[in-house]
Chain A
Amino acid sequence: MEPAAYEKFYKAWLENTKKFLSPWSLIKGETSPPFSTPSSSATDAPDWTKDWSKLMEGMLSFPYTMMIQGIGGTPMSSQKDYGDLLNGSLDLYKEWVDVSLDFSKTWLEASSSVFAKLNAMTAKAQATSPDDYMKQIYNVWVEELEGKMDHLLHDPGFSSKLASLLSKYLDVKEKSDSMAEKYYRSMNIPTRSEIDSIYKEIHELKKKLSKFASSDSSPTSSRKKKN
């Protein structure tokens, strides 16, 4: 960097950053902090408490340090991301409750049918051994619940709810993945979208290569070579 540019932009920025961080981090500032901190104010406390306070201050300052350095996005965008993720999770939960209610309703309907059938069973059928009787109850329960569940799962209205639940889950996953991408990018770690673009290119190159190989081995191609 040219000295003039350094003086004008970088040095000023660095100085201001240090000044801002000096109360909160282990960086020794040139000026005294504008306000006291636990580690700076507890002059009579044992040394180990001061060290501990300094460590905690440093850890707490880390997200802000990252934001100031431009890592992880601005505080506003991070807040928005977390807000969107939270809203998405709530939407997902609402869909989940909706689907669960339909399952519960089906269970209750099946249970009512089972009780009705058991009541209708003859005294002779009921007067079998306890094991056989339990088996009969179980078989009736399975038959009723299977029928009711089959009806529910075939219902287009319920299918639409299932699809909506899946969609909300995918929204949350997509939001979470995009937030992770931002952090990976800031840490210079290859992201999924970057790797996917490489995969796509490799796939397309393989296809082209395969086409060249098959055209190269075709009879027309070999005749051309002989000529």
Chain B
Amino acid sequence: MTSILATATESEEKKLHDVHKEMDRTPSEVVYTSGRIKLLHYEQIRKEKIVHTPVLIVFALINRYYILDLQQDRSVVRRYLESGIDVYMIDWGNPAPIDKFQTIGDHIEMIDEAVDVILKRSHVDGITLQGYCMGGTFAAIYAALHPSKVKNLIVQAASIDFSTQSGILNVWSRFIDADKIVDTFGNVPSQFLNSSFLLLNPVGLLVDKYVKYYDNIDDKQYVENFDRMEKWIFDSPDVPGEVYRQFIKDLYQKNLLVKGEFAIDGKKVNLKRIDMPLLNIVGEEDNIVPPDSSTPLNDLTSSKDKETISFPSGHIGISVSGKAQKELWPRVAEWIREHSV
């Protein structure tokens, strides 16, 4: 059974490897694997590691982690390495049909395993945990459950309060029958998720984007940047069924996290247990995770040292835009350095 499952993901892995080779990515090594997940450790650029506390970045289960390392001049990872920060990243891999029963709690456990590996390798007591999008929600949940292992918490475009109706996804989720979707599909197919995201702005994403591409077809850099983004947009794995069910029902529909009623394996997640320094990065023009879904986190924690950076960009632009690379990420790297002494 395992070999049959492995065959299905091996061909996917090979395709992914070919995609990655073509991209201008920062070298990394896999330092830990557990099931489908891999923990990546990026090679240092500086001769000496200056910042003692390593950073673990947790991306969402939708799309892939390398949006944070798309190419050399659009890489959050590279900005951190240039500042002497030790960077780890979780690669969630490709869910197989057997993974459809994995819950949010299982993924929090996987994060815990990765954190334990980093603590042991780096000989530290705590890490800087950074979560992006759904990964930010996971990071907040993890920090609330294991505050002793998290020295600093950074959340980036993270959904915390799902009651807002300013985002289209928040409106749609009121009507979605998550049980029917998961019971029929099992793992939620990536094509279904991609179609949903394209429908957020059909004119922009299905027409205007390609017209602009045609207009700039002679600009080599534009074309290369576009092609890398396109590859990332459509390189998306399925989402484990039970994670989807919980995310829609417990978070989007019932908003249990901010009410303090969201439970992982029977244990309620209390955001007040987050008492470490907190940096909340929000995209002002984010139409996937609207700002009023992310900003409430600061008031829900008991952190004394907390800050919100509201940046004029969208959900993806906050990572890859030229402006973010020049202005935002060096500032975040400086925040990490200051809080890693």
Which A residues contact B (CB, under 8 angstroms)? 138, 142, 145-146, 149-150, 153-154, 156, 159-160, 162-163, 166-167, 170, 173-174, 177, 195-196, 198-200, 202-204, 207, 210
Contacts and interface: CB of A to CB of B under 8 A. Distances in A.
Contacts of B260: none
Given A146-B201, A162-B172, 18 more contacts: A138-B211, A146-B203, A149-B202, A150-B201, A153-B171, A153-B200, A156-B171, A159-B171, A162-B175, A163-B172, A166-B177, A167-B177, A170-B180, A174-B183, A174-B184, A199-B101, A202-B1, A202-B98
A138 B203 CA distance: 12
B172 A159 contact: yes
Contacts of A138: 211
B184 A177 contact: yes
A146 B184 contact: no
16 contacts: A142-B204, A145-B203, A146-B203, A149-B201, A149-B203, A154-B171, A156-B171, A156-B175, A159-B175, A162-B172, A163-B172, A167-B180, A170-B180, A195-B97, A196-B100, A207-B106
User: Majority SS of interface residues in chain A?
Assistant: helix
B168 interface: yes
A196 B106 CA distance: 18
B181 interface: yes
A149 B208 CA distance: 14
A200 B181 CA distance: 18
Contacts of B207: 142
Given A173-B184, A199-B100, A202-B98, A153 B175 contact: no
A200 B101 CA distance: 7
Interface in B61-95: none
B186 interface: yes
A48 to B, nearest CB: 46
Interface residues of B, number: 29
Interface in B87-117: 97-98, 100-102, 106, 109
Nearest to A164: B175
A72 to B, nearest CB: 23
Contacts of B177: 163, 166-167, 170
B8 interface: no
Contacts of B172: 159, 162-163
Chain A CB within 10 Å — which of B98, B174, B200 has the most?
A: B98
A138 B1 CA distance: 55
B203 A142 contact: yes
Contacts of A200: 101
A199 B98 CA distance: 5
A109 to B, nearest CB: 14
A203 B97 CA distance: 11
A211 B175 CA distance: 37
Nearest to B176: A163
B181 A196 contact: no
A107 to B, nearest CB: 10
Contacts of A162: 172, 175
B199 A153 contact: yes
B101 A203 contact: yes
Nearest to B102: A203
Given A163-B175, A174-B184, A203-B102, A154 B168 contact: yes
A159 B184 contact: no
Contacts of B184: 170, 173-174, 177
A134 to B, nearest CB: 11
A179 to B, nearest CB: 14
Contacts of B204: 142, 146
B101 A170 contact: no
A173 B97 CA distance: 17
A196 B98 CA distance: 8
Nearest to B109: A210
Chain A CB within 10 Å — which of B172, B181, B201, B211 has the most?
A: B172
Nearest to A148: B203
Nearest to B96: A199
Nearest to B211: A138
A222 B186 CA distance: 40
**5 closest A-B pairs (Cβ-Cβ)?**
A163-B175, A203-B101, A199-B98, A170-B184, A146-B203
Contact of A196 (B1, B186, B203): B186
Nearest to A144: B203
Contacts of B174: 156, 159
B290 to A, nearest CB: 12
B102 to A, nearest CB: 7
A70 B195 CA distance: 42
A203 B98 contact: yes
Nearest to B35: A206
Contacts of B211: 138
A153 B168 contact: yes
A145 B171 CA distance: 20
Interface string B194-215: 0000011111100110010000
